[in-house]
Structure 1
Amino acid sequence: MKRNIILFCAAGMSTSILVSRMKEAAHEKGLDYDVDSYAISEADKKGPEADIILLGPQVRYFLEDIKKKFPDKPVECVDMQAYGTLDGEKVINQIINMIENKT
């Protein structure tokens, strides 16, 4: 099943690198994930399109607000260490865990 993963951030360069690495990791695992990133200011517009929403650590203070806006979607902050090291595989594993636990 194709899943639309959206990562909201402060629109930094590191997020686009992380998204690229997440796409590679998903492909290597045979997962049909479409991964994109947007500025947090786009949440109202892009959030409805997502199956899963992740927030970059720099915008984690929006977590409760995003959960309230999209109560039917799994929403979490990206693991801070994974974000800092641009570890796309670790974030993909976080997403797999979210799906399994339906957080």
Structure 2
Amino acid sequence: MNILLVCACGSSTSILMQNMRDNLKDDEKDWEIGALSVSEAKTKFGKYDYVLLAPQVKFQTNMIKGLCKDIPGITILNISAIDFGRCNGEAVLNMIRENEKNK
């Protein structure tokens, strides 16, 4: 599983990204989690299964969905402001896990 966290400048997600890595289960240890700014991410969406948008870029959800519309299997989700603010990697991972169950 390849996961991309997207924020305004790419730096505010680094703590959340590390917390997510720390909370991966044993069978998820091969998951790759990265973080980029919106401008950096625009040309790199194709290698990800999930694109998670930080609250400060939530307003760009439709634009990002448009850029990803021809990428098979990609899922775009918004990270809740509470989970983002608390750097709650476990909650963000649970959002992905739940989404995977419902596919």
Q: Normalising to structure 2: TM-score of the pair?
A: 0.86
Gaps of 5+ in 1: none
The correspondence of residues 9-88 of structure 1 with structure 2, limited to 5 A, is 9-11=7-9, 13-26=11-24, 29-30=25-26, 31=28, 32-71=30-69, 72=72, 73-88=74-89
- The alignment of Structure 1 onto Structure 2 pairs a total of residues equal to 98
Q: Normalising to structure 1: TM-score of the pair?
A: 0.86
Preserved contact between residue 10 and residue 38 of structure 2 (Cα < 8 Å):
no
Alpha-carbon shift at residue 43 of structure 1 (Å) = 2.4
Q: 3, 6, 9: which one pairs with 1:5? A: 3
Residue matched to 2:94: 93
Alpha-carbon shift at residue 79 of structure 1 (Å) = 1.6
4+ residue runs over 2 A deviation: 11-14
Q: One-letter code of the match for 1:101?
A: N
Distance 1:87 1:59, change over 3 A: same
Q: CA RMSD in A?
A: 1.4
